[in-house]
Structure 1
């Protein structure tokens, strides 16, 4: 299968790409590469890359592809809050245009990286895919809108599927430290403190980045009837945690560390639990391998072996908002988050090395 992966140089994308290649797929990337400074331990795989902005994709660019895996987005709530209108422009409008271009080009399968954040704030019940949407951020709202638009495009020739990722964690070569488990473990390794920014009571569904990659691979190979115009919460049954319990688990695995709370720590408005029964039962080939405990163990070893320092952790490289803000301040990006310095010729269809 010839697959275009948007956002292939991001936190998930750099780990998904080799999974797909090992399965024998012909993979091409598309990424503006905002986060090249975030390499940790090793660089991403070198794959052919359409070096262009997702907002500029036309059907011509997508001719010959069997599937599109759409990961690219302004990738978390603080970053989307930087400019809500840009979040809707990139995460919503451009995503819908990409899907329309894929359909026009004859691409038969469109795997959309959605998010459990579209459930927003909920009670203690575990939410399945039929639960009401209640997003509390522009990022979550953008995911709702794209799912709804893709459903309207679905027909006999175009099969979208919506993978609602839980909050990701785990080692990636394009590391993020602005996701909760990665962040807490980095605090522990670099300061000896597991620092909670909230009061620790909110619930989060959590999933390892490699289990996310496995879900996308399974969605690409599954029979059409199993995935057509369907949503799947991506995670593992039993992997919902209150944040304070994650913190105490880190302290258990790194007993030299203590759990602390930031001054003025308050409850987080994002508070929900998710049911992962459907994906484990109904997505052929999906078998999650990771738990939060094993992911913490992986991160502890990687941060220590990789020499993660307090300066490295608190710097801009592993935080999406800080990276984008730095690029804006230096003039490398214009206010629309387009590169303002010389880049590859994005009007060409010629593939560029990553």
Structure 2
């Protein structure tokens, strides 16, 4: 009897290059990608310290995306271009830098990706491009960006989509306002800041006038979506935009505050701050279903999750958790603007 020989093909792990990998989303996304058996090149200047776990399939690349070399894109299957100076205060304080990183550097990264044979490019953008809208907005609605942060993201969307080809698939994800725990914690996000204020000080900070609508999305949900898209056939959606969030996480600011109070401390004092925020919009997330994706995590879940981390002393508010304050500090040390 002849001995049968079974030959097995070696499976080559796909390599994913993630910019801004040490940030709020990247610190959740990168471990997800590693668990899904991808190799990851994590590109970041790591302003906020090391938040990523050591792993045999993880390469940390301390580089600025404004001048990253094309050599790092060799044999990369997909790029997730998270890098950005995030939120309006950062954009207002550092408008030139916001334009360079959120728009110019991401357009440059997309061009390099295409030239080097990358198959997929995912651009995480923002629902802030909708500005102030009275009607429920879809991906086809007119955009009304009100800040340099929103305008830089919108310009990146428009110019990067033009690069699509049959061999270079581009997907744009307009993310709702994010919330929830991350190893690179942020307390300058609405739900997170409210939860910290109530838990630590019995004071709930709330932005005037409180009647603005905000679509929200847990950081784990947007990360789950990006990880899912890597192995998905996206050719029929090439160059398309998807709103990322859920109807069950769309609330007025004042109603978000009530959810936080209910889950943490109903007796906390409301502390109003700032000028009335003109951004208010309801977003349709119907198109997201075409990708076979459903968000899982509610505002209630996110608040309870953070409370548990507080109870176990695993998160605390400091300068690094307020993005604009940390940027200002780095700027005084001349470590921020340099490439």
Which residue matches 1:241?
A: 251
Q: Paired residue for 1:163, among 170, 173, 178?
A: 173
- Higher relative contact order, chain-length normalized (CA < 8 Å, sep 6+): 1
Structure-to-structure mapping, 1:131-210, within 5 angstroms: 131-210=141-220
Task: Report deviation, 1:337.
Answer: 4.3
Q: How many residues align?
A: 323
Query: Distance between the aligned counterparts of 1:248 and 1:259, measured in 2?
Result: 11
Other structure's SS at 2:129 match: helix
**2: distance between equivalents of 1:86 and 1:255?**
39
2:138 to 123, 128, 139: 128
Q: Is the 8 A contact 1:189 1:304 kept in 2?
A: no
Counterpart contact for 2:215–2:247, Cα < 8 Å:
no
User: Within the alignment, does 1:323 sit opposite 2:334 as a pair?
Assistant: no
Give the stretch that moved more between structures: 193-202 or 112-121. Answer: 193-202
Q: What TM-score does the superposition give when structure 1 sets the normalisation length?
A: 0.87
Aligned partner of 1:55 among 54, 63, 66: 66
**2:255 is the counterpart of 1:255:** no
**Contact 1:57/1:101 (8 A) holds in 2:** no
1:275 equivalent in alignment to 2:284: yes
Provide the C-alpha distance between the structure 1 equivalents of 2:85 and 2:171, rounded to a whole number of angstroms.
20
Q: CA deviation at 1:18?
A: 1.1
Q: What's the CA shift for 1:33?
A: 0.7
Bigger CA radius of gyration: 2
Aligned residues of 1:30 and 1:50 also touching (Cα < 8 A) = yes
Contact 2:217-2:245 at 8 Å conserved across structures: yes
1:331 offset after TM fit, Å?
A: 3.0
Pairs within 5 Å for 1:204-353: 204-262=214-272, 266-279=275-288, 281-284=289-292, 286-306=293-313, 313=317, 315-333=318-336, 336-338=337-339
Q: TM-score, normalised by structure 2?
A: 0.91
C-alpha distance in structure 1 between counterparts of 2:144 and 2:87, whole Å: 17
Contact residue 226 and residue 282 of structure 1 kept, 8 A: no
Deviation of 1:92 after TM superposition, in Å, equals 0.5
1:229 to 1:22, Cα distance in 2 relative to 1, 3 A: same
The 8 Å contact of residues 207 and 253 in structure 2, kept in 1 or not, is answered as no
Deviation at 1:255, TM superposition (A): 3.0
| Regions of 4+ moved over 6 Å | none
Picking from 106, 111, 130, the partner of 1:100 is 111
Contact 2:248 2:298 in 1 (8 A): no
Answer yes or no: is 1:67 the counterpart of 2:64: no
Moved more, 250-259 or 71-80: 250-259
Measure, in 1, the Cα distance between the counterparts of 2:308 and 2:125.
Answer: 30
Q: Is the partner of 1:5 in helix, strand or coil?
A: strand
**How far off is 1:299 after superposition?**
1.3
Match of 2:28 among 5, 9, 15: 15
- Cα distance, 1:8 vs structure 2: 0.9
Q: Secondary structure at the match of 1:274?
A: coil
- What does the per-residue CA deviation read over 1:166-188, in whole Å, with 9 as the maximum and x for residues that have no partner? 00000001101111100000000
Counterpart Cα distance in 2 of 1:171 and 1:257: 24
The CA deviation at 1:44 is 2.3
Quote the RMSD (CA, aligned, Å): 1.6
